[in-house]
Amino acid sequence: MISAVIHLANKDYASLVDDFMDLAILPPDSDRATIIPLMDKALSPYVKGGGAKKYEAELRKIYGMKEDMSSQVGGFQAMTQDALTVLNDVPFSIPPYFAILGRAIVTLEGIALTGDPNYGLIMEAYPFIARQLLRDDRPEIQMALQEVLYSTKSGEKGSGALKLNRLLALLNNAAGSVGKQEGTAFVDLDSVPEDGITLETGLKFLMSDDSESLRVLLEPEVDNMVDILSRQIIRMGFSEAIVSLTPPRPPALPFLGNIVPPSPKLDEVPLPILLPSKSGNISDPPTLGFLTLKELVETAAPKLTREEEIYALSLSDASGEFFGPEMARFVRGESFLSVQSAQMFLKAAQQGSFGQSSLLSSSASRQVLNGLSSILGTGNQSYLSNFYDAIDRLDSKERARFDMISTEIIARRIRRVIERLSDLKRIF
């Protein structure tokens, strides 16, 4: 029923037919081509709300029944024909459980209409539906949530990347702010209301008990997102930092030209680096590798595939739209790693930090988080201060959940990097 309300509110009648089959209102062998346009005519006026009188007015519009008698007769004939088609060609039935529930809902809707003549049950119920999607981890609810966050058009199940705008829209819907399709009364799944929730409210909701289903669904998505963004940030930021750290070439002398050879590029100078064991097992002793920093970065943060680049670009665009251009620059990895942070990376490599077995401990993950906070806090306060403020306003339970999730994500990223580094050649 939750899935049916979502499809009805989004005017997705093709998917609504499937829902009615699951609810045993329609048989599995129903003629979809006949049913879908009839659903549109019968249910669209209802979603707009306003009770029986407005429903009748909307039906008249649909069938073109204007004031002149000829249009009244023609519209009535078309309506009658559709009604006969429903009775003769659409073998629908009302299951007992649905009849009892429907009777209760109609009674409550009648009470609401006495207080608000424009009351629309489906639209008013949508925030409740959104909260159920985020809270409930039952398989059928997870499927409905996945369809909302991943599908690209009516009737198409999601198989691509997460739509960030849909996630933000759903969080707003759960808080009671619902964006509507332009000029209609139907929900716009892609629309984030201008007067929607703040970053602080959204983060608190994500860390609350009411978002269990969403967190379960997003866990692998966040892992993939963090991996792609971290690789992009490391590759671009490290290149910028290496250029800054490489000493300039001495100026040319008159008549003699450049007699001093250029300084070697810092990222192309081979260095001894202590790496994880070749087996990839963190419990095995580390081994010594002799490689350039360029090789190290290329292995730890491989170049993005075409699909990953498109995904990263979509994240950057969405971040810029909802959080401003500075956040979009951060997501793209521009000016993220400073000279100081590159020096930290070099020092860690030379001291053998990449070969330590303690890298997978929770304390190591927390150290990485603290280091990231330090790097982010340098020159980036303009667009990250709101995020830090939102974290500070989490209560103790929400903050503990946020810290646990962050630590787990970092630990998984460290393990993935270790697995990649295990493929590098060793001296011994």
Task: Convert the pLDDT of each residue in 316-336 to its tens digit.
Answer: 887 777 666 777 776 776 655
Q: Which residue has the tokens 């967190």?
A: 215
Query: pLDDT-derived band of residue 76, with 50, 70 and 90 as boundaries?
Result: low
Q: Is the pTM of this model over 0.75?
A: no
Could you read off the pLDDT of 28-60 as tens digits, one per residue?
888 888 888 888 888 888 888 888 878 788 777
User: What pLDDT is attached to residue 341?
Assistant: 54
Q: Residues 173-178: what's their mean pLDDT?
A: 84
Query: pLDDT-derived band of residue 257, with 50, 70 and 90 as boundaries?
Result: low
User: If DSSP codes are grouped into helix, strand and coil, which group holds residue 139?
Assistant: helix
Could you read off the pLDDT of 85-104 as tens digits, one per residue?
676 677 888 888 888 888 89
Per-residue pLDDT at 384 exceeds 70:
no
- Which string of DSSP letters, residue by residue, matches 312-378? HHHHHHHHHHHH-HHHHHHHHTTT-S-HHHHHHHHHHHHTTGGG-GGGGSHHHHHHHHHHHHHHHTS
Give dist(CA 57, CA 61) in Å, integer.
Answer: 6
User: What pLDDT is attached to residue 155?
Assistant: 45
Percent pLDDT > 70 in the chain is 68
Domain regions of the chain by residue span = 2-197, 215-249+267-421
Tell which wins on pLDDT, 287 or 358. Answer: 287
Percent pLDDT > 90 in the chain is 3
Query: pLDDT-derived band of residue 72, with 50, 70 and 90 as boundaries?
Result: low
Per-residue pLDDT at 64 exceeds 90:
no
Query: pLDDT-derived band of residue 298, with 50, 70 and 90 as boundaries?
Result: confident
CA dihedral 264, 267, 269, 271 (to 10 degrees): 150
Per-residue pLDDT at 158 exceeds 60:
no
Could you read off the pLDDT of 98-155 as tens digits, one per residue?
888 888 988 999 999 999 988 888 888 889 998 888 888 788 888 888 888 887 544 4
Query: pLDDT-derived band of residue 379, with 50, 70 and 90 as boundaries?
Result: very low
Among 294-298, 362-366, 402-406, whose mean pLDDT is lowest?
Answer: 362-366
